[in-house]
């Protein structure tokens, strides 16, 4: 199986020489990263070429790599009870605008990922590309290649603000009319910007500033649970009892 996958990855490299940024084979899954200018072209080739036949696009999503590689979880100075594992409160989404996260280790911020399926060859492939401009993330639409990605691209536009050039009906699909911002961006606060409630006196829905304060919920990590120890003890006694019964039957014979 490993030899088969390796041969397939070599064919991908040979077919798209100069258009691939990277090809990663991990856990039996292939992921290729392509240049944004070749995004639509490679999609057509992967669909139409008899060597690949990726006729189905199972999913398309956006990714925001802002603050990628940065964590707010303590790892070296934690207590044995686990109560100090998430006390930093400096992760993306927990901030005011002045202290919002800025691009760090990742050179580019917004990416688009598709998961493809070749029913003919029973293969899957993950394809990723990064938008060239972080200020106005834009990439070509794949609706002409796989019409089923229409709503997926609208979702990525709504939640991440990625503009799909050539999309036939690019508008929000999950957020409310007049919503400001893109909720899945890492610089969008976790508590949101406004609250929505129904005002009885005005007889309509009104928007108000958020009234709650952001806080960090610290999970308790239970490392030693007596219930598990009891279960192991009971299992051990059961296995010992079965072993004694088997020995007794053997002796009687």
pLDDT tens digits, 95-135 = 555 666 565 566 789 999 999 999 999 999 999 999 999 99
* C-alpha distance across the termini of the chain, in Å: 50
Cα 17 versus chain centre, distance: 28
Average pLDDT for residues 144-158, to the nearest whole number?
97
Q: How far is CA 181 from CA 65, 192, 205, in A?
A: 17, 10, 19
- CA–CA separation, 157 and 155 (whole Å): 5
What is the CB neighbour count within 10 angstroms for residue 40?
17
Highest mean pLDDT among 8-12, 148-152, 199-203: 148-152
Predicted confidence at residue 2, as pLDDT, reads 46
pTM for this prediction: 0.72
Predicted confidence at residue 127, as pLDDT, reads 96
Predicted confidence at residue 128, as pLDDT, reads 96
Predicted confidence at residue 1, as pLDDT, reads 40
Q: How far is CA 124 from CA 29, 30, 63, 120, 148, in A?
A: 8, 8, 20, 11, 17
Average pLDDT for residues 223-236, to the nearest whole number?
68
Predicted confidence at residue 235, as pLDDT, reads 79
Q: Residue 139: is it exposed, middle or buried by C-beta count within 10 angstroms (0-12/13-18/19+)?
A: buried
Q: Three-class SS string for the chain?
A: CHHHHHHHHHHHHHHCCCCEEEEEEECCEEEEEECHHHHHHHHHHHHHCCCCCCCEEEEEEEEECCCCCCCCCCCCCCCCCCCCCCCCCCCCCCCCHHHCCCCCCCCCCEEEEEEEEECCCCEEEEEEEECCCCCCCEEECCCCCCHHHHHHHHHHHHHHCCEEECCCCCCCCCCCCCCCCCCCCCCCCCCCCEEEEEECCCCEEEEEECCCCCCCCCCCCCCCCHHHHHHHHHHHHHHHHHHHHHHHHHHHC
More confident residue, 90 or 211: 211
Predicted confidence at residue 160, as pLDDT, reads 96
Decide: 185 and 66 in contact? Cβ < 8 Å.
yes
Highest mean pLDDT among 30-39, 71-80, 190-199, 219-228: 30-39
What is the CB neighbour count within 10 angstroms for residue 155?
19
pLDDT tens digits, 52-105 = 999 999 999 999 998 787 766 655 665 555 445 555 556 666 655 566 656 556
């Amino acid at each position: 199986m490993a030899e088969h996958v390796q041969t397939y990855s070599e064919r991908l490299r040979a077919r798209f020489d100069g258009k691939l940024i990277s090809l990663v084979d991990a856990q039996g899954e292939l992921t290729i990263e392509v240049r944004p200018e070749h995004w639509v072209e490679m999609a057509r080739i992967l669909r139409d070429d008899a060597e690949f036949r990726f006729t189905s696009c199972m999913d398309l999503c956006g990714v925001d790599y802002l603050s990628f590689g940065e964590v707010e979880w303590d790892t070296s100075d934690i207590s044995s009870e686990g109560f100090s594992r998430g006390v930093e409160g400096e992760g993306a989404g927990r901030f005011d605008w002045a202290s919002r996260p800025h691009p760090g280790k990742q050179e580019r911020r917004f990416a688009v990922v598709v998961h493809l399926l070749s029913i003919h060859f029973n293969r899957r492939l993950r394809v990723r590309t990064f938008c060239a401009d972080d200020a106005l993330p834009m990439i070509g639409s794949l609706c002409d290649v796989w019409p089923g990605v229409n709503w997926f691209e609208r979702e990525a536009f709504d939640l991440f603000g990625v503009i799909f050039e050539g999309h036939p009906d690019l508008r929000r699909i999950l957020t409310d009319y007049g919503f400001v911002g893109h909720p899945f961006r890492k610089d969008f606060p976790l508590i949101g910007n406004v609250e929505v409630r129904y005002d009885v006196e005005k007889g309509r829905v009104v928007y108000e500033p958020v009234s709650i304060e952001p806080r960090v919920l610290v999970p308790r990590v239970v490392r030693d649970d007596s219930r598990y120890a009891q279960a192991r003890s009971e299992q051990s006694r059961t296995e010992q009892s079965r072993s004694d019964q088997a020995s007794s039957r053997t002796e009687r014979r």
